[in-house]
Structure 1
Amino acid sequence: MGQSHPPFDRTKGRRTTGSRVQGRHLVRGIRRWVTAAAGALALTGGLIAVGPQASAAGLTQVTGFGSNPGNLSMYTYAPDVLPPGAPLVVALHGCTQSASDYYAHSGWPKFADRYGFALVLPQTSSANNANSCFNWFEPTDSSRGQGEALSIRQMVDNAVARYGSDTRRIYVTGLSAGGGMTANLLAAYPDVFAGGAVDSGLPASCATTVSAAYTCMYGPPDRTPDQWGDLVRAAAPAGTTSWPRVAIWQGSADTTVRPANATELRDQWTDVWGIGQTPSHTENLSGGTTLAVYDDASGRAAVEVYSVSGMAHGLAVDPGSGAEQCGTTGTYYLDTICSTYHTARFWGLDGGGPDTGALPAPTGLTVTGTTDTTVALRWDAVPGAASYTVRRGGTKVGTTTSTAYTDTGLATGTAYRYTVTAADPAGTEGTVSAAVTATTTGFTPTCHTASNYDHTAAGRAHQSGGRTYANGSDEPMGLWNTFTVHTLEQTAPGYYVVADSGCPA
């Protein structure tokens, strides 16, 4: 398993040796962390806590994968038939979890089998952290070439050699503390990871100490997008110009990692991409989920923010055998929507796996008309197709035997993204088409100037931790009081952006 380190003494700030000293400091460390988090679970509940482990059936432990300066364990999973040049996904568990627990609950094995890619599941332990969390708040563990971050980098190298993975299609995802580490890995290794997904996590370099970690969790610093972006640019190799595509998942009722973290993550990665903080379009998905998409200059999604209404701290799963379902419920695995399915599609992992169907993707998908409540679509016929399935934002909305479909009952002035698949006579769906976006008509933007308190009372904004955020866009507006005044423009139903410099409406 590589080089081993003694436990880290949080009270002294150094590593200790010897069984007597080791035991004393480990007990002291656990007591300190649990006491600090009492009542809210804080880091022990999600970011900085060791629980029962699920069966590791299907996982393979790999030892000797490198010098392993971070003292981590490496586990892998791959389908029985894996073509050369397949993608690779690294999945980081949260606190109170393990590699086998994440494997059993997250849904990633299902899509590894369906789309054809390998998984690496790193695992930390109480020897590294009193609560078996990845040390996302420790620069010596989360910076390029150091500690746990370097151990994970070595796992990637080992897996690429083991499975013949495509080095252009390596991705990393993580929950909670694993999400915080994911953000840091994306910043430190943009030359390694083509994309990432931060689930209930925090911005890169948000904290460099334990006390700062609590601040980030409950009320992250209200930095400008440029300041957040500078932290990524400082962590990356000098001269980096190509950045990973980032998905951000956050529950609106998360009291362990406040939703403001998703806003700061969005600001950080949109700034790195240079694309601004106004979404290119928004969509309503299943499970009470709102998706905001931020396209790059070529029109391809660079950052996606998924806000799950009413979800507490955890990973969004949707148990079931459906094509868009995944995972099993458990502690910090919450029944809402299959985040793994949407993340895999965002990364493009669904573009040709063994179970995507024999029929090719329909081509020529076009929006032929819109009204205030409808969108009309058409596409080219696929030879051998018995029917076609239309999806709006990943959710099935209709099946037709023709090459045209009209979606009805939509909200006015709202953008929707559509895809189509062809199915053979047995009902097996083929590859998903390229997406198109349509915006319904009939919505007239409006502007409102008021105090942050009045915006909140009127339903145009919300407050969290004493700070105010615009509804829909989650743009920060400063302190929640009657003295701070902003102008908000409603650009779509329930969607507001800060327009202090001038409101077109």
Structure 2
Amino acid sequence: MRPTILRRLVRRVAPTVAGVLALLTAQPVSAVAAPAAPAAASLVQVTGFGSNPGNLQMFAYTPDGLAAGAPLVVALHGCTQSAGAYYSNSGWPKYADLWGFDVVFPQTTSANNALSCFGWFDQNESTRGKGEAASVVQMVEYAKKTYGSDGRRVYVTGLSAGGGMTADLLAAYPDVFAGGSVASGLPAQCATTQAAASGCQSGPQKLSPAQWGDKVRASYPGWTGPWPRVAIWQGTADYTVQPANATALRDQWTDVWGIGQTPSSTTSLPGSTTRSVYADAAGKPAVETYSVAGMGHGLPVSPGSGTEQCGATAAYFLNTVCSAYHTGLFWGLDEDGPGGEEQGLPAPTGLKVGGVTDTGASLAWDAVVGAASYAVYRDGAKVATTPSTSYTDSGLTPGTTYRWTVAAAGASGTAGTASAAVTATTSGGTAPARCFTASNYAHVTAGRAHTSGGHAYANGSEQDMGLYNVFVTHTLRESPAGHFVIADSGCQA
């Protein structure tokens, strides 16, 4: 067992395609308006995480007692699947408990796509600032602000259509995701219409690495890096998403990294799996491919209690090798610091907020021996580096709650463990109320209400809105954010 794994144990003690016909049953989950802490960690639905332009649902798994500053993994299901199925079978919750990180499971529904596929082939859903891609990023921002997830260590993984969307997210949001893992998926922006999707699945265009790389670079023009580190999983007997897609993915991301398509090393893993590593200029793995001999279309899992075993077999969860384990090692989730690097400097203590105004807040903390500078993070994103033990954060929005952490950095500039988080709300700036008139069904799918016993209930006020269907209409007034009341008699925004 790796020393870092032992330390964590001691500390915690504790369109895949239209031809897909199998149906997976989601595990029961409880719907809440905010991530209330259950008696034991479980999959919980979260509503009100943002404007949700892609009409997705958010589910989250947060291990018991997990401190702020932990990594975040976003896991996207395949067609006909659900967040509950991915939670139960993929193996990610096991390593969230073992290594200490949060997991968000986005879910799409038949309201978006007849087979509940993420829209990797639709530029209105898969590009920066639009549709489902924007909804996923809103979930990340919610997790950073609510759970204190470390914005430097956010990763995304997905199977099949979820894998295609993963590649699109990595291309469109390299500023959000530090790494990704595409399982039986498609290259970023392989198809831009549903009509073209089947052509990608049966064998993508024969483009050069530079042409594939251009599709990534065009997804966020002007971005120069750093780029996400990408793992690619593919079965050699996959006749739904052909193995040529794994080759195109490798060509795409090695070109983005500016490295060749010849592996730096090749090793054998359980389940007849071959891992090929493509290292960056510093010798660190930038792209890895995992070819599973004889495996069909699905996510590799390996049920069992061993550290390297995970998941459960089900439709499209195939007993070969634990992909979650090896992907987590590639991302460095088993280590203490960002990117898997051991960080020697401890977390600063005594972080306090003072001098809060409508647009700023003053921070101060205790010095760390050996620190050359300090990195300041607001809502999980780095906002400043300072040599002193104080910092005034400015340009804030009035009447808004923020969360800050601080990490000490040595002479190399590499930040260590983040401090405990502190929060404060800027003064002034009361946000105006917003009004929404829609059917009960639409209110629920938009995250303004939830269901129980066949009825819809307004988030926040818990008012009974009547039957959950498209025939009952209500006006809901939102004030404050995330709190809705029935306002059928008149709603003043």
**TM over 0.5: same fold?**
yes
Q: How does 1:83-162 map to 2 (within 5 A)?
A: 83-162=67-146
**Inter-partner Cα distance in structure 2 for 1:342 and 1:239:** 29
Native 8 Å contact 1:44 1:131 kept in 2: no
* 2:20 pairs with 1:53: no
The Cα shift of 1:241 comes to: 2.3
Q: Mark the CA change 1:87 to 1:312 in structure 2 (over 3 Å): closer, same or farther.
A: same
List per-residue Cα deviations over 1:261-315 (Å, max 9, x = no partner).
Answer: 0000000000000001000010011100000000000000000000000000000
Supply the AA of the counterpart residue of 1:140. N
Native 8 Å contact 1:187 1:204 kept in 2: yes
Native 8 Å contact 2:309 2:322 kept in 1: yes
Native 8 Å contact 2:68 2:149 kept in 1: yes
Q: Number of residues paired by the alignment?
A: 314
Equivalent residue number for residue 415 of structure 2: none
Helix, strand or coil for the counterpart of 1:235? coil
The Cα shift of 1:222 comes to: 0.7
Native 8 Å contact 1:318 1:336 kept in 2: yes
* 2:318 pairs with 1:337: no
Unaligned ranges ≥5, structure 1: 1-32, 34-40, 361-505
**Inter-partner Cα distance in structure 2 for 1:224 and 1:138:** 23
Equivalent residue number for residue 254 of structure 1: 238
Supply the AA of the counterpart residue of 1:242. P
Helix, strand or coil for the counterpart of 1:268? helix
Equivalent residue number for residue 245 of structure 1: 229
Q: How does 1:73-92 map to 2 (within 5 A)?
A: 73-92=57-76
Equivalent residue number for residue 210 of structure 1: 194
The Cα shift of 1:239 comes to: 3.2
**Inter-partner Cα distance in structure 2 for 1:164 and 1:249:** 30
**Inter-partner Cα distance in structure 2 for 1:56 and 1:237:** 39
**Inter-partner Cα distance in structure 1 for 2:59 and 2:183:** 20
List per-residue Cα deviations over 1:310-360 (Å, max 9, x = no partner).
Answer: 00000000000001000000000000000000000000000149xx9xxx9
Native 8 Å contact 2:20 2:80 kept in 1: yes
**Inter-partner Cα distance in structure 1 for 2:184 and 2:29:** 24
**Inter-partner Cα distance in structure 1 for 2:257 and 2:65:** 36
Helix, strand or coil for the counterpart of 1:172? strand
Helix, strand or coil for the counterpart of 2:18? helix
**Inter-partner Cα distance in structure 1 for 2:28 and 2:302:** 20
Supply the AA of the counterpart residue of 1:280. S
**Inter-partner Cα distance in structure 1 for 2:124 and 2:290:** 30
**TM-align CA RMSD:** 1.8
**Inter-partner Cα distance in structure 2 for 1:74 and 1:305:** 29
**Inter-partner Cα distance in structure 2 for 1:96 and 1:123:** 11
Native 8 Å contact 1:75 1:120 kept in 2: yes
Helix, strand or coil for the counterpart of 1:344? helix
**Inter-partner Cα distance in structure 2 for 1:345 and 1:204:** 23
* 2:163 pairs with 1:179: yes
Aligned pair partner of 2:206 in 219, 222, 225: 222
Q: Mark the CA change 1:144 to 1:50 in structure 2 (over 3 Å): closer, same or farther.
A: farther
Unaligned ranges ≥5, structure 2: 1-14, 31-41, 345-493
Greater shift, 270-279 or 235-244, is seen at 235-244
Supply the AA of the counterpart residue of 1:164. G
Q: Which has the higher contact order (CA 8 A, sep 6+)?
A: 2
Greater shift, 265-274 or 76-85, is seen at 76-85
Supply the AA of the counterpart residue of 2:136. I
Native 8 Å contact 2:29 2:45 kept in 1: no
Supply the AA of the counterpart residue of 2:210. D
When the two structures are superposed, what TM-score results if normalisation uses the length of structure 1? 0.61
* 2:151 pairs with 1:167: yes
Supply the AA of the counterpart residue of 2:18. L
Q: Mark the CA change 1:309 to 1:175 in structure 2 (over 3 Å): closer, same or farther.
A: same
* 2:283 pairs with 1:299: yes
The Cα shift of 1:53 comes to: 1.9
Equivalent residue number for residue 425 of structure 1: none
The Cα shift of 1:50 comes to: 5.2
Native 8 Å contact 2:174 2:225 kept in 1: no
Supply the AA of the counterpart residue of 1:290. T
Q: How does 1:381-392 map to 2 (within 5 A)?
A: none
**Inter-partner Cα distance in structure 1 for 2:53 and 2:131:** 5
List per-residue Cα deviations over 1:2-47 (Å, max 9, x = no partner).
Answer: xxxxxxxxxxxxxxxxxxxxxxxxxxxxxxx9xxxxxxx943428x
Equivalent residue number for residue 43 of structure 1: 18
Helix, strand or coil for the counterpart of 1:342? helix
Helix, strand or coil for the counterpart of 1:303? strand
Supply the AA of the counterpart residue of 1:214. S
**Inter-partner Cα distance in structure 2 for 1:74 and 1:192:** 18
Aligned pair partner of 2:172 in 188, 196, 199: 188
When the two structures are superposed, what TM-score results if normalisation uses the length of structure 2? 0.62
Q: Mark the CA change 1:239 to 1:305 in structure 2 (over 3 Å): closer, same or farther.
A: same
